[in-house]
Amino acid sequence: MIELNYANTGKILVQGHRGAMGYAPENTMSSFVLGYELGADLIELDIHLSADNKIFVMHDSDVSRTTNGLGYIENLTSSELEILDAGSWFSDKYKGEKIPLLKDVLEWAHDKINLIIEIKGNPQPNNLICEELLKQVYEYSMSDQVMVISFYHQSVKDIKILDSSIATGILYTGSPIHPCKMAIDAYAESIRPSIKYLTKEIADKAHKDGLCVSAWIGNTEKEFQTFVDAGVDSIGCNYPDRLRLWLDNHGLGV
């Protein structure tokens, strides 16, 4: 299982958010490879199910922002998704970049880098996605190399019910009264609030309850410091090299 409880050891992990989305088109193989090369300890990515039940890697449920196509992934088939250009919107340098299938990312990451896989949905994740995700994780023998996270806490719980050995985490924004209880109710091991909603009190309580704490997104030195002061175990960053350098210079790098 991925271990994220680094705060005790005075170390913090670098999560490459959607790969290295500050430098390359988010959630593409180029972005993941770059994130790895720039020193990320973990690569974060987002997944959806297509109309023919294949898992594609993309943030939005609608392909129009990050490809030259139109429509929702859930209504498009693999053959319709595979021909889309997921790179030109970012820059000509990435023209022809494909929307990756999850299995492409697993194949690349296997024995190389751990993955944080976020289940997306529109408005809820498709019920089949948890089983299909685990099937692929098993195919690449990566149970101890992935963590599954989501804003949809039922999906997080479903993963854990299907396989208690898979690391999981709940994402949230806003100020729930009991964020740690939310994680425990979902059988998760980590809380993952957005930067605005993380406080030291919440992080301390989470660690006391045996939970890890990861927060997103920190891209500037001021934001890195805010996260460190709160006591996180990992930080999601669009520019993994910036965070890597900053942590290493402060003796906080893994």
Residues 182-211 close enough to bind ligand G3P by CB under 6 A = 192
Q: Is 241 in the site for ligand G3P (CB under 6 A)?
A: no
**By rule CB under 6 A, what string of x and - marks binding of each residue 132-161 to ligand G3P?**
------------------------------
Minimum Å gap between C-beta 236 and ligand G3P is: 5
Q: Is 59 a catalytic residue?
A: yes
Q: Maximum CA pair distance of the chain? A: 48
Please report the beta strands in 145-206, taking only residues with DSSP state E, as ranges in sequence order. Answer: 146-150, 167-172, 190-193
Asked if 171 is part of the footprint of ligand G3P (rule: CB under 6 A), the reply reads yes
118 binds ligand G3P (CB under 6 A): yes
Taking CB atoms, the residue at the shortest distance from Ca ion is 118
Q: Report the residue number, 42 or 106, with the smaller CB distance to ligand G3P.
A: 42
Q: Which is nearer to ligand G3P, 52 or 226 (CB)?
A: 226
Q: How far is it, in rounded angstroms, from Cα 43 to Cα 90?
A: 19
List, in order, residues 6 or more apart from 220 with CB less than 8 Å away: none
Strand ranges for 54-113 from DSSP E: 55-57
Kindly tell me the burial class for residue 182, based on how many C-beta atoms sit within 10 Å of its own C-beta (0-12, 13-18, 19 or more).
middle
Residue count (the chain): 254
Residue 216 binds ligand G3P, judged by CB under 6 A? yes
Helix (H) / strand (E) element for 47: namely strand 42-49
Catalytic residue flag (residue 17): yes
Would you name the residues annotated as active-site residues? Answer: 17, 59
What is the contact surface with ligand G3P in residues (CB under 6 A)?
A: 17, 44, 46, 59, 118, 171, 192, 216, 236
